[in-house]
A = this chain, B = another copy of it.
Amino acid sequence: MSNEKKELTQLADIGEFGLIEKLTKDISIKNKSTVKGIGDDAAVLDYDQKEMVVTTDFLIEGVHFDMVYTPLKHLGYKAVTVNISDVYAMNAIPKQVTVSIALSNRFSLEAIETLYEGIKMACEHYNVDLIGGDTVSSVTGLTISVTALGEVEKGKAVLRSTAKPGNLVCVTGDLGAAYAGLQILKREKEVYLVNPNSQPDMSGYDYVLERQLKPECRKDVIEGLKKNGIVPTAMIDISDGLSSEILHICKQSGTGVKLFEDKIPVDVQTMMVAEELNLDTTLLAMNGGEDYELLFTIAASDENKINEIEGVSVIGEILEDKKELKLYGRGEGSTTIQAQGWNAYKK
């Protein structure tokens, strides 16, 4: 590298979102088929009668997963699922994926075949075709890069930037369980490191562990919305946590929001784990991440219709004042919603 004299900026100081913003701020669109580029769950491309969405994600050993407690088949399944989740979050139907893997010599053919079993299972389950990829060696560890492609009727892609004041804020399923599951896995790893002969006791944690190790996308809700004639005004999937995602919607839509703590859906097992590990349940639900549930906004007039769809909770309302970003607690008073996001560059 060149002999740089001036002070360099550490990645830890600007974080993931800051980095992306810096890198992409001056990117302009040249091709007419590019409807929407960077800045949503997926890009949108125009192909005559249809639009196509494209999204991509990395999974890195030691950052996104730990081989000590991640079965390879689950990992393959999750790698596909988290990308497909972004396609659904555009209101599109996933159709194809490419999967690239970089792996070191320490993996055997049989290990990679197990990983691929999971990849193929997810493709089967979500009816997508595995159409390509790249298989290369790495110096250390396992890296997986997945790109997912989907289709949506022209003009029906749902962006993050189109929420309107008065819209209702909805979330699918329950939140915080995947993070709770991760804490249990980490605890068991500690036990294992101290005593490798110990047998992990995972009974009573089945739901939170499954949420962490084998998340599913809300294909059913996308179908339910269609069936009930609801087109969300804005949508995003929850990968970094509810706080972070609702702030994305508000920032991009130029709106505020109020959420109600007592409306946020949390599973009983998640609450039990929170209590056991002395974690705050609401914090866990707001910032846990990896839920792969959908967060979306609808016109207030769709309130009755949304109740027809199983697994959807109305948790708040979009506000006009973009400085108003509040979570109303169970008691009196409210707090300002803050994005934890992640900043993996911070030690």
Chain A residues packing against B (C-beta within 8 Å): 1, 4, 8-14, 16, 19-20, 22-24, 26-27, 29-31, 33-34, 36-38, 42-43, 45, 47-50, 52, 54-58, 60-64, 67, 71-72, 95-96, 98, 100, 102-103, 105, 107-113, 116, 120, 127-141, 143, 145, 147, 149, 151, 344-345, 347
Contacts and interface: CB of A to CB of B under 8 A. Distances in A.
A27 B98 CA distance: 12
B100 A58 contact: yes
Contact of A108 (B8, B57, B96): B8
A63 to B, nearest CB: 6
Contacts of A113: 22-23
A36 B98 CA distance: 13
Nearest to A51: B47
Nearest to A52: B47
Query: What secondary structure prevails in chain A residues at the interface with B?
Result: mixed
Nearest to A28: B129
Contacts of A143: 58, 60, 102, 138, 143
Contact of A102 (B24, B54, B58): B58
B63 A138 contact: yes
B38 A138 contact: no
Contacts of A26: 120
A321 to B, nearest CB: 31
B108 A38 contact: no
A12 B11 CA distance: 36
Q: Report copies per complex.
A: 2
A50 B31 CA distance: 15
A136 B58 contact: yes
A113 to B, nearest CB: 7
A30 B128 contact: yes
20 contacts: A1-B72, A8-B110, A10-B109, A16-B136, A20-B135, A22-B109, A23-B116, A27-B130, A31-B95, A31-B129, A34-B131, A37-B131, A38-B130, A54-B131, A56-B98, A58-B145, A60-B102, A63-B137, A102-B143, A147-B147
A19 B113 CA distance: 9
Contacts of A57: 100, 134
A125 to B, nearest CB: 11
A33 B110 contact: no
Contacts of A64: 136
Given A1-B67, A129-B31, A132-B56, A43 B344 contact: no
A38 to B, nearest CB: 5
A50 B10 CA distance: 45
Contacts of A58: 100, 102, 134, 136, 143, 145
Contact of A31 (B55, B128, B137): B128
A11 B108 contact: yes
Given A37-B132, A108-B11, A130-B38, A147 B56 contact: yes
B141 A139 contact: yes
Contact of A139 (B8, B61, B103, B133): B61
